[in-house]
Structure 1
Amino acid sequence: MSLMRKDIHTQEKQLHQVQQNFSLHSALILNKLDKLDAHLNAVEERSLKMRHEKPAKKLFPNSNLFKQWTVELSEDDQRKAEDLFQKYGYNAFLSDQLPLDRELPDTRDHRCIGREYPKNLPTLSVVLIYLDEALSVIQRAICSIINRTPAHLLKDIILVDDHSTNEDLKTQLHVYVSSINEKHPGLVKTVTHSEQKGLSQARISGWKAASGDVVAILDAHIEVHVKWAEPLLARIQADRTLVLSPVFDKVNYHDLQVTNYFASAHGFDWALWCTYVAFPQKWYDQNDPSQPGKSPSVMGILVVDRLFFGEIGTLDGGMEVYGGENVELGIRVWLCGGSIEIVPCSKIAHIERAHKPYATDLSNVMKRNALRVAEVWMDEYKENVNIAWGLPIQNHGIDIGDVSERKKLRERLKCKPFKWYLENVYPELNLINLLAYGVLINDLQTSLCLDKGPLEENNPILYPCHFMESQIFYYTASGEIFVHPLQSFKNDRSRCLTDPGSGRFPELSWCSDTEKPKHMYWNFKQGQAIQNRETKRCLEISTDQTGKYEKNVFLQDCRNQHWKIQNVIQDV
């Protein structure tokens, strides 16, 4: 009898627990439904109001925002939306209206969805870097991390403010963080720079404040997908020398909808601009796109064992603002004992800005950072970076800062030479046998340079010298003359100077286009004629009836005109 009573009592307790869980679950569902209902009511009220109003005039028809985002807004709302768009580079007006805990489409490969991971994974610190980001975007990033990361694995979230000036990031964000820490004591920490230090230093600050076994360093304009952390933590648990990146889905800057991106490796060209590249062939041979793939570099978001990151030198704090720091990390990790992987089962939705408000032109900073990377890590191949930027190989005149400590780090870690990296990690990075590069100037008119001309046309022209990309030409040992950018990959779509064989005008044709016969090889020596090897015609300039030099350049019988190119590598 006592056993029966005990059994009944146990069943009553279990039933009570089930009822409690059901009540809690029901309350959560009702709360979400209430939020959704309130949002739908607000949208409906707005729609009814606009139905009874005369359609507002389109104030910004040429705006990158309103060209694609075609909702009906009042004139006041259009102004607000455009102002916020110019400020942030994405639709912050819309972001402020969306729920912070909005659902994301599950874009993972079907093999990822049912995959199980160990419970005893390493703990995780998440670092979010921002500079004058929209408040709702940061809040949504935090919310997604808390909701979609197992609580027993999430050690802390570090917010690093690289000297923002937005008042709401000093007041309202503080209130939001305090409300989270009331529920989850100590979960969110803040680091604030007293001056803008740039992306590398901000990431280093976040890493220093982190306490988890693994640190994920992210932009603040992201949302994490469900089960994003477990695949990353499992890989690092298996190999602590890995530096990982999730796959980024694109969040459209205009409507904030998520576009699925498939996994690719992260590479770079000789100017050290990032680009997506193919994985090694053996990744494709597996016929399983859910598997991690080796990558030459990372695009900026990275996940790494916290202690290992310190052992290999974190990031180069001498980098300025933005650009090049991720390539430097990628090269260093591979040369100094680690490796880099892209993990397709981990996905993050990342807002793709229409413009970067903190730096309208990154080229000067990027150029300086690229030269710094080349000086420390690229050995005899560093001249390729100078060439890619159209700079002389010697005495480029750009201050790259003190790199002595980074060179000592390379010695201390006993890192491999860059040649090993090109042969074993990134053979796709093309080595071109150049003889000369830079602007081409005819001696008859030294204020004008050869220029690739309008994008929609394929005829080079003469144009006042400005020494920018459209006027940078390269002359190879095989006799090709092609226009910027430098061919960093074997399948690049660079445009080569060609003689079509008839007519007076030269053309710029795709160098890789072999479908039609071309006369694309030239004889040229510094200070002499540029003559086609097959047609024997020369590239020349001519005056009009008034004696003014024409915009067009011509192919004709050689009349002893002389050209000079800006930088000579080997005697031409």
Structure 2
Amino acid sequence: MLRRNVLRVLSIGLLLVFALNLLLIFYTKRTVQELILGDRQNKLHFALSELNWTVMDRLSRLEANLRHLKQTMKLATKQSEDGLGMLATVKDEKHPFPDTAHAKEGGFFKENPHKVLFPDSELFKKWGRDLSEAQQKEAEDLFQKFGYNVYLSDRLPLDRTLPDTRDSRCHWKRYPSQLPSLSVILIFMDEALSVIQRAITSIVQRTPPRLLKEIILVDDFSSNGELKADLDEKIKLYNQKSPGLLKIIRHTERRGLAAARNTGREMATADVVAILDAHIEVNVGWAEPILARIQEDRTVIVSPVFDNILFDTFELIKYALAVDGFGWELWCRYDALPKAWVDLHDVTAPVRSPSIMGILAANRLFLEEIGSLDGGMLTYGGENVELSLRVWQCGGRIEVLPCSRVAHLERHHKPYSLDLRIPLKRNALRVAEIWMDEYKDMVYMAWNIPLQNSGIDFGDISSRMALRKRLKCKTFDWYLKNVYPLLKPVRSVVAYGRMKNTLDERVCLDQGAVPGNTPIVHHCHQYSTQNVYYHLTGEFYVGPLIAQRDADDRCLTDPGKGEKPTLEPCSKAVKNRLNIRWDFKPGRAVINRVTRRCLEMKRDIWGGYTLVLRACTTQVWTIQYTVRNWGSD
């Protein structure tokens, strides 16, 4: 029965192919125009060139549909030989290993008889319910090693199709016939081989061959064995089809992301370098917008728009267009589109961006002239913000290109370091010392690091300071005022860090649950929920330092009634005339300036402590760091 149905599909498909090919052979261009568009040319007053383009676009889509039909028939033939199980897999292409619910609907699988070995694993929340116990163990082991679903990746086609996530108006965008050549640099360290292959395949298939000069792989000292001989063999196979297209260079020691990117740039020979992670898939038409924009202005460094590939199911999730920003910890975030761009009413126009994420493209020589990436940045984190500040302050600009889309595979966890806070903190201080002038204090305070004698070695910065002087770069104050006014420095902080009551110095003031507005005391730890910032004007910020013009830090407040303090958005508290100002000096009481009640601790019924507002007793508080000896009198 199955074979008969497949043959029927094949027969109908072949008849369609034959009929459509006859149509293309016997109808002239004018006849096809009339057939497809009828008399719309007169009704809509199309220009002849626009009409011809529309017709050719229709024909191109028709040709693509024919190719897809042929591929489908080939697949159907193979499926008829492979049996029912393969048909079930193809039916649910987004979920090659359907869960129990999908399996019941399809009618091909019964309830999974296997024991669930990892019920708490994030890998199996939405995927893999029909796997055997041996398959579950293999998948979980690979997940822990790589941070994403390698078991699934190894079974997905390397040339899988992605939905075109561009705005439809990007399809009408036309680019010069002569564009610069492109070197694509893929950086990896202990990546899964199938993920690297899929990245390479997407680049080869979705970049015009006349533009793609080379793909350079940089291995930052991987320990994964299949990235040695196995990867070399795959590269040979690619180069048999396109001699010299793929190149690889391997570090003999772990040098970090910035140094690996520099290695790739130094090896590149094309006009433009695109520096990508190796866990990506480029989408259709990704390269032309990049090359055209850099051809217009060699001093612009551009970023595509990122989409997200889920770590567990490998589904692509479209991300909205946004610009790239950062907070005072110099950790990346997305910001809203600037009003000036919105007012253009052109969704294909480049968007000016304060910063860039990890994926970028630049004129190769310009990137070299401004110092490439800072090789003194270790492991991972902060190198993109460092480059962004240098580009803006030293005569370049950064833009996001809406018509260039790259899908980025998220990781559930990263293999670079057991505790990423260590390199992130160290790299952030390096950036602050080189580029942020008097505003560097904000970075120290955001990371809860003392302004003097931090104990953190951020490396020799003399060569980077000399580069800044040679390039005659602008100040960070200029950058804040002209490029990133959203970032708001706070100049009135006089004390910050962990805040303790001498009643029990094992616990610290903490912002408590979010959402929620009730501060607590909790066993002291290193995370930013226990950051406290005391201002000369009397406010206490509790929790991570936000300091943005479109978001609020949270102020410690005495509501005036009841014994519980609250945390309120500071601007809202000021507007509502809440009691947010306190008298405090290290080693003294915390007293609200209006109510004259003290912030104190008392035992709760569980044997811990709770915060209360009451008439002052003898309790006093300490704070970890002070600014310029404040409070020493």
- TM-score, with length taken from structure 1: 0.91
Q: 1:39 to 1:284 in 2, by over 3 A?
A: farther
Alpha-carbon distance, 1:52 to partner: 5.9
Mapping of residues 206-285 of structure 1, within 5 Å:
206-285=264-343
Identity %: 51
Alpha-carbon distance, 1:139 to partner: 0.5
In structure 1, which of residues 338, 344, 364 is the aligned counterpart of residue 396 of structure 2?
338
Alpha-carbon distance, 1:58 to partner: 1.9
Alpha-carbon distance, 1:315 to partner: 0.5
Look up the SS of the partner of 1:158 in the other structure: strand
- Report if aligned partners of 1:252, 1:258 keep a CA contact under 8 Å in 2: yes
Alpha-carbon distance, 1:158 to partner: 0.3
In structure 2, which of residues 221, 226, 238 is the aligned counterpart of residue 168 of structure 1?
226
Partner of 2:501: 442
Partner of 1:11: none
Counterpart Cα distance in 1 of 2:486 and 2:568 = 23
In structure 2, which of residues 537, 541, 554 is the aligned counterpart of residue 482 of structure 1?
541
- Report if aligned partners of 1:214, 1:233 keep a CA contact under 8 Å in 2: yes
1:450-500 deviation per Cα after TM superposition (whole angstroms, max 9, x unaligned): 223345654333333334322220112332212221123123353321222
Partner of 1:12: none
Partner of 1:8: none
Amino acid at match of 1:528: R
- Report if aligned partners of 1:498, 1:506 keep a CA contact under 8 Å in 2: yes
Counterpart Cα distance in 1 of 2:627 and 2:480 = 22
Counterpart Cα distance in 2 of 1:49 and 1:166 = 40
Alpha-carbon distance, 1:361 to partner: 2.1
Counterpart Cα distance in 2 of 1:217 and 1:230 = 15
How many residues of Structure 1 are paired with residues of Structure 2 in the alignment? 552
Counterpart Cα distance in 2 of 1:452 and 1:309 = 43
Mapping of residues 95-110 of structure 1, within 5 Å:
95-110=153-168
Counterpart Cα distance in 2 of 1:508 and 1:326 = 34
- Report if aligned partners of 1:538, 1:557 keep a CA contact under 8 Å in 2: yes
Look up the SS of the partner of 1:394 in the other structure: coil
Partner of 1:502: 561
Partner of 1:520: 580
Counterpart Cα distance in 1 of 2:502 and 2:515 = 28
Counterpart Cα distance in 2 of 1:529 and 1:491 = 33
- Report if aligned partners of 2:166, 2:402 keep a CA contact under 8 Å in 1: yes
Alpha-carbon distance, 1:435 to partner: 1.9
Q: 1:477 to 1:146 in 2, by over 3 A?
A: same
Alpha-carbon distance, 1:174 to partner: 1.5
- Report if aligned partners of 1:460, 1:552 keep a CA contact under 8 Å in 2: no
Flag the structure with more relative contact order, 1 or 2, with Cα contacts below 8 A and sequence separation at least 6.
1
Q: 1:399 to 1:54 in 2, by over 3 A?
A: closer
Counterpart Cα distance in 2 of 1:99 and 1:37 = 18
Mapping of residues 392-411 of structure 1, within 5 Å:
392-411=450-469
Deviates more, 1:459-468 or 1:111-120: 459-468
- Report if aligned partners of 2:495, 2:623 keep a CA contact under 8 Å in 1: yes
Look up the SS of the partner of 2:170 in the other structure: helix
Amino acid at match of 1:355: H
Amino acid at match of 1:374: A
- Report if aligned partners of 2:128, 2:136 keep a CA contact under 8 Å in 1: no
Partner of 2:602: 542
Amino acid at match of 1:537: R
Counterpart Cα distance in 2 of 1:163 and 1:37 = 44
Alpha-carbon distance, 1:563 to partner: 1.7
Look up the SS of the partner of 1:374 in the other structure: helix
In structure 2, which of residues 53, 70, 74 is the aligned counterpart of residue 34 of structure 1?
74
Q: 1:96 to 1:556 in 2, by over 3 A?
A: same
Amino acid at match of 1:346: S
Partner of 1:7: none
1:84-127 deviation per Cα after TM superposition (whole angstroms, max 9, x unaligned): 11111111111111111111101101110121111210000000
Deviates more, 1:43-52 or 1:510-519: 43-52
Q: 1:23 to 1:276 in 2, by over 3 A?
A: closer
Partner of 1:429: 487
- Report if aligned partners of 1:492, 1:512 keep a CA contact under 8 Å in 2: no
Amino acid at match of 1:381: Y
Alpha-carbon distance, 1:398 to partner: 0.4
Partner of 1:293: 351
1:249-283 deviation per Cα after TM superposition (whole angstroms, max 9, x unaligned): 11111111111112211111111001111233201
Look up the SS of the partner of 2:289 in the other structure: helix
Q: CA RMSD in A?
A: 2.7
- TM-score, with length taken from structure 2: 0.82
Amino acid at match of 1:322: Y
Counterpart Cα distance in 1 of 2:585 and 2:403 = 55
- Report if aligned partners of 2:379, 2:416 keep a CA contact under 8 Å in 1: no
In structure 2, which of residues 249, 262, 280 is the aligned counterpart of residue 191 of structure 1?
249
Partner of 2:196: 138
Alpha-carbon distance, 1:173 to partner: 1.7
Partner of 1:123: 181
Counterpart Cα distance in 2 of 1:26 and 1:252 = 31
Alpha-carbon distance, 1:543 to partner: 5.2
Counterpart Cα distance in 2 of 1:539 and 1:52 = 62
Alpha-carbon distance, 1:175 to partner: 1.6
- Report if aligned partners of 1:541, 1:550 keep a CA contact under 8 Å in 2: no
Residue 506 (structure 2) pairs with residue 451 (structure 1): no
Q: 1:304 to 1:33 in 2, by over 3 A?
A: farther
Look up the SS of the partner of 2:610 in the other structure: coil
Partner of 2:98: none
Counterpart Cα distance in 1 of 2:109 and 2:464 = 63
Amino acid at match of 1:441: K
Amino acid at match of 2:380: Y
Look up the SS of the partner of 2:386 in the other structure: helix
Counterpart Cα distance in 2 of 1:476 and 1:33 = 71
- Report if aligned partners of 2:381, 2:427 keep a CA contact under 8 Å in 1: yes
Partner of 1:151: 209
Alpha-carbon distance, 1:71 to partner: 4.1
In structure 1, which of residues 43, 51, 73 is the aligned counterpart of residue 86 of structure 2?
43
1:420-470 deviation per Cα after TM superposition (whole angstroms, max 9, x unaligned): 101101111111121211111223433332223345654333333334322
In structure 2, which of residues 123, 126, 129 is the aligned counterpart of residue 68 of structure 1?
126
Amino acid at match of 1:443: T
Counterpart Cα distance in 1 of 2:228 and 2:472 = 44
Q: Which has the higher helix share?
A: 2
Counterpart Cα distance in 1 of 2:221 and 2:283 = 28
Q: 1:465 to 1:341 in 2, by over 3 A?
A: same
Alpha-carbon distance, 1:49 to partner: 11
Q: 1:449 to 1:45 in 2, by over 3 A?
A: closer
Q: Structure 2 stretches of 5 or more lacking a match?
A: 1-24, 26-61, 90-102
Q: 1:32 to 1:361 in 2, by over 3 A?
A: farther
Counterpart Cα distance in 1 of 2:591 and 2:545 = 22
Counterpart Cα distance in 2 of 1:347 and 1:211 = 24
Look up the SS of the partner of 2:613 in the other structure: strand
Q: 1:24 to 1:463 in 2, by over 3 A?
A: closer
Q: Structure 1 stretches of 5 or more lacking a match?
A: 1-14, 16-21
Partner of 1:470: 529
Counterpart Cα distance in 1 of 2:111 and 2:185 = 46
In structure 1, which of residues 554, 558, 570 is the aligned counterpart of residue 612 of structure 2?
554
Partner of 1:491: 550
Q: 1:493 to 1:82 in 2, by over 3 A?
A: farther
